[in-house]
Amino acid sequence: MPSLRQLHAAHGRLLLLDAASSEVQVGWLAGEGAAEWCGSGDEAGVALFRCLEQLARNPEDAGAFLFCDGPGSILGIRTSAMAIRTWNVLRPRPVFAYCSLALIAHAIGRSEVSVIADARRDAWHQFNLGTGLRRVPSESLGGELVTPDTFRHWSPLPTGVKHHRYSLKDLLPGLADADLFSAATEPDAFVHEEPSYAKWTPQIHTAPLKK
């Protein structure tokens, strides 16, 4: 898994899209600490492009794309992925994904701290340094818990959980050498397992027989 420093060395200017939380973040990363950022609370389909306009940057000028593939807002993440796939039709470039919870875990730097986000159905995404990302039921959570401050949740937050600022502008400078990124040949939202569907055998409806 390459680091941000290695991606800069290989591809130069990077365009980062993060729509995993309630605040969409877009970054133009030119390397060696040179970065421009824009954030927006609009829905992802509007926010991503408004931020690019405010930054006055053209995706065509990026050497590679970075995006958050989760956990977080599935709609926002897939909107980011769709934008990147569209730009790559015009000119193919490498795409790299990263895990939202991993950023905070590496910033904290302690394996005993669990970074969590709501996975719905009374379950949570949990990331720990050394063990990575997994999906656990609410009753299995324990120890020191941290959650990103701009992530939505539907289940009640566990007792004692602390909020951590989810700001790429603040998090990334200290993580330039962390192994955070993986190649994404087909950008999309991360899922723990592919959905399964029950089989259904079609039947012709008939009136019930009269006795």
Domains of the chain as residue ranges with CATH: 4-183 (3.30.420.40)
Structural tokens at position 144: 């020191």
Its pTM stands at 0.89
Judged against a pLDDT cut of 90, whether residue 204 lies above it is answered with no
Question: Which tokens belong to 65?
Answer: 């794309």
Residues 6+ apart with CB under 8 A from 50: 38, 40, 42
pLDDT for 138 equals 94
Nearest C-alpha neighbor of 187 from the set 34, 7, 64, 102: 64
pLDDT for 104-154, tens place per residue? 999 999 999 999 999 998 999 999 999 999 999 999 999 999 999 999 999
Rounded distance between C-alpha atoms, residue 29 and residue 14, angstroms: 5
Cβ contacts of residue 60 below 8 Å, gap of 6+? 87, 90, 91
| pLDDT score of 208 more than 50 | yes
Q: In angstroms, rounded to a whole number, what is the distance separating the alpha carbons of residues 147 and 162?
A: 6
Across the beta sheet with 162-164, what order do the strands follow?
132-137, 123-128, 113-120, 144-148, 162-164
Residue 197 has pLDDT above 90, yes or no: no
Whether pLDDT at 45 is above 80: yes
